[in-house]
Amino acid sequence: MKKDLPRLAAALSGPEKRFIRTCARTEKKDGTALQHLLELLFSGKAYSREEIRKTVKGKTGRSQPHVLERRLYEFIIGCLRKLETKQDEVILQNGLQEAGLLYRKALYPACLRLLERLLKKAVAAENQLLVLEITNRLVDLYQVTGKGIREQQLRRVYDLENKSLRQYESIVRVKQDSGRLFFTMRSQGDSGRGEQLKMLREILADPFYRSERNIDSFRSGLGFFQLHATYCGLRGERKKALRYQLKLVGLLEAHPRQVKSRPVFYLISLNNLAITYSAFKKPGEVMDCIRKLHGAPARFGFADSPDWQLKVFTSVYPILQELYIRSGSFDRAQHVISDTEQQLRKLDRLISPVHRMIMHYNLAYLFFGSGNYRLCLRYLRLVTTKETSNLRKDIYFAARLVEALVYFEQRETDALFYAALNMQRQAAREFPANKPLRLFLSILKKSTEQDDPAVRDTLRKFRQEQKNIRTVQSTKLISGNFNTEAWIESKIRKTSFHAAVSESAQG
């Protein structure tokens, strides 16, 4: 065990070295499993978690590895992934050192053959800097020998050098443009859409971005499609944005090694694609994006860690839930509800309180739309706690509003009266300028003393008054997290809530 630590120290960073030393000190009785895991690490091959588990089981005879080995699974797989991405570059650098040694010993034919092999590998790996260095050495070698120089070989080397220079320039241009744009988007948010559009127009005015034929490498294509998709999305051209997003996902899937080394790019691209599909009201396509993300670890060969499952769950599932909520398809969302509940139980300790609050509220909303008020109240009580009151005030207040509407539907007059009264006090304290909200809460409180025709007449008057005094703030606080207009229409017309939501979505 101790003999392996110097070899490990040459390949890993400081925290990783300390972790391995801790593992070596901790496992005193049986070190065979850890020893074999270190051997797998030094082999440089990409082993899946199942392969490592089978190997450890065969070495130790244990079917369930202990806690230390479970931590090692994630650690070892991450190290293997990093080493594999650096493997080609290490081979090329070692080859260049060997070529330099051959050149100094005047072994020119062997040096020439080695450099030509390295040139092919550098081109295949899309390592532009090493391609330039190798071609420069080849040209120097041809000039030094002076014999057997083929004009065709020199022309091929110079053409390749010019091509690699163009690729390098396009990659640098795309990286700089993408960095400028996304730094501006992070710093300004939605408030700087005009400036972001202006910057994108200036960037896309470059001749490189006018045609897809100018794409000459994976990285330049990645930036090309990202910038065009962002520009079309900001302008509201959804069909064009969808076309560029599909091309971006296709480019990533055509380069599995790039996805393996940068899985977050694949997650972001499919997440943006799911948002666009949601705008087109296509739940089937959004579900396809989720299936692709769940199957990405097995398809591209990286670790299916809880962290990856958490990213998929917190990024794409809310899009699918909101799609069913906005379209009013509450009865068709049963599979989404079951998947969400299963993932909540599975990833309970990893989910942040804000994401858990959003998931619970969406589940309550779906149960409210399908008429299952018992389960709706169950999830609403998880949202309306003291711990969650300061996380997202808009969701907290919307959950209190839905809770009052559940009491209205169940004709629990006492609970409705006190719920509306408490919300009136909270609204007067936190949203004093929101007149439609205060009026709507007063209607709910008075409905406990009125019959159905009187409530419908009051709601008709409120609907007309809300149209007259609607503001941005009132729209956000009343309608942003719950469709109050559809609920009012359902009460006036005596129809179901999901039918009113479907009608408003189609309109």
CB 9, CB 17: distance < 8 Å: yes
* pLDDT-derived band at 6, boundaries 50, 70, 90: very low
Query: Mean pLDDT score of the chain, rounded to an integer?
Result: 72
| pLDDT per position as a tens digit, 328-368 | 788 888 888 888 888 888 888 888 888 888 899 989 988 98
Torsion of CA 482, 485, 487, 492, to 10 degrees: 170
| pLDDT per position as a tens digit, 38-79 | 555 545 444 455 555 555 455 444 444 444 455 555 565 555
User: What is the distance of C-alpha 215 from the center of its chain?
Assistant: 25
pLDDT of residue 189: 57
In angstroms, the CA 212 to CA 222 distance is 11
* Nearest partner of 11 among 68, 87, 94, 73, judged by Cα: 87
In angstroms, the CA 290 to CA 323 distance is 14
Average pLDDT over residues 363-377: 88
> In this predicted model, which residue has the larger pLDDT, 120 or 367?
367
User: What is the distance of C-alpha 190 from the center of its chain?
Assistant: 19
In angstroms, the CA 352 to CA 329 distance is 28
* Nearest partner of 42 among 94, 93, 3, judged by Cα: 3
Range of lowest pLDDT (325-329, 419-423, 475-479): 475-479
pLDDT of residue 47: 47
How many angstroms separate the Cα of 91 from the Cα of each of 27, 87, 98, 222?
34, 6, 11, 26
Place of tokens 């901790």: 26
Q: Residue 408 pLDDT > 50, yes or no? A: yes
> In this predicted model, which residue has the larger pLDDT, 357 or 84?
357
CB 437, CB 474: distance < 8 Å: yes
In angstroms, the CA 100 to CA 112 distance is 11
User: What is the distance of C-alpha 259 from the center of its chain?
Assistant: 13
Burial of 28 (0-12, 13-18, 19+ CB in 10 A): exposed
In angstroms, the CA 491 to CA 440 distance is 14
Residue 63: phi, psi to the nearest 5?
A: -80, -35
Q: At what angle do helices 283-300 and 263-279 cross, to 10 degrees?
A: 170
Range of lowest pLDDT (148-162, 430-444, 456-470): 148-162
The region, left, alpha or beta by phi > 0 then psi within -120 to 50, assigned to residue 14 is alpha
In angstroms, the CA 192 to CA 200 distance is 12
